[in-house]
Structure 1
Amino acid sequence: MQNLPKKVRSKKLSTRVDLTAMVSVSFLLIIFFMVTIELAKPSVLEYGTPDCDDCGETFGCNMPDENRSMTILLDDNNKLITYCGLLSYPVDAPREVHYGKNGIRQELLERKKKVYEYSASRGKPGRGVTVIIKPSKNSNYGNLVEILDEMKITGISSYLIVDYYTPEESKLLASK
């Protein structure tokens, strides 16, 4: 018999796979999806419907309580005009005020106090003032930020920014 070369057998390596990293990644993915699902839940915004004693039990009454509303008109050159109620029948007549703690901040704090007293006298304590902020096309962004800062400082949480001026408000800005 002839010497045949021996077959060289390769050494078999272990087929184990280390899954430690896979477990870590799976836990991270589970945590990520749990957080995103929690953040994606719809949140409900409390919509304050106006108080209306004159309407009786009418559902969806749309008559605002002008004693609880205050409008701030912003214009160029740091011009700031406030009035309370409706412009055609204002609770407080339109007047020009200045920025700062002796100007608009004092005005907001006084109005807030009056509205809380008014609401308490009507048997609905805790109802605060609603401020309507109307920046004109000529006003600058800094003035809007200052008014929003004043809302935060005075603790008024019910405010809205509207970019629509009525013709009467436009005339008021042009005259003052």
Structure 2
Amino acid sequence: MAEAIAQEKQGGSKQRKKLIRVDMTPMVDLGFLLITFFMFTTNFTKPNVMDLGLPAKGPHQPGNVVDVRNQVTFILGKENRVFYHQQAKEDLNRNNLKETDFNGLNITKIISEAYNKAPKKENFTIIIEPTDDANYKNFVDVLDNIAISKKERYGVTDIRPWEKKVYEELTR
């Protein structure tokens, strides 16, 4: 707290000068209590995350290949370009590798159209293939569109060589 110390002045007058000394120890305790209070009562922002369900590692079974009519493949390219197709290896060419963009709900519309045409809707799968030139924002945008379309079966893989060949023909 505060204490008053009386000192006598040297000399002719008999006035006493009072010096006041303030003890700062309780103030420091109060400061730490306030810091602790605000730390516990502050809402920390929680990061927005999307669950990415990955399959368990196991032996590759070649019999579990998804039929091209039950899937749609998105190829994420450079300069915010995204291509998609529903073709087999021998059928894919530069005429049926289509391009779309991230404006509006284009990707969600493409997913729902492919889903409606799928013969086995329970096996419908979305395949995302980012190229080396793709950026992370576009990948997250595609995942957001998948979440909007409420499809739970999707996979992320490297672009296959036969798709890369057609992709490079279009982006030259």
What TM-score comes out, normalization by structure 2 length? Answer: 0.56
| 2:71–2:114 Cα contact (<8 Å) kept | no
| 1:69–1:85 Cα contact (<8 Å) kept | no
Matched, 1:87 2:89: yes
The 5 A counterparts of 1:1-176 are 61-89=63-91, 93-115=96-118, 118-119=119-120, 126-162=121-157, 164-176=158-170
Change (3 A) 1:102 1:64: closer
Q: Quote the sequence identity (%).
A: 22
Structure 1 letter corresponding to 2:159: Y
Change (3 A) 1:74 1:158: same
Change (3 A) 1:128 1:62: closer
Cα distance in 1 between the residues matched to 2:65 and 2:134: 30
* Cα displacement (A) at 1:61: 2.9
The equivalent residue for 1:36 is none
What TM-score comes out, normalization by structure 1 length? Answer: 0.55
* Cα displacement (A) at 1:151: 0.4
Deviations 1:46-88 (A, max 9, x none): 9xxxxxxxxxxxx973453221021110011111110114232
Structure 1 letter corresponding to 2:106: G
| 1:78–1:139 Cα contact (<8 Å) kept | yes
* Cα displacement (A) at 1:89: 2.7
Provide the aligned C-alpha RMSD in A.
2.6
Instruction: Give the length in aligned residue pairs.
Output: 111
* Cα displacement (A) at 1:104: 1.6
| 2:66–2:123 Cα contact (<8 Å) kept | no
Moved over 4 A (4+): none
Q: SS of the residue aligned with 1:112?
A: helix
Q: SS of the residue aligned with 1:61?
A: helix
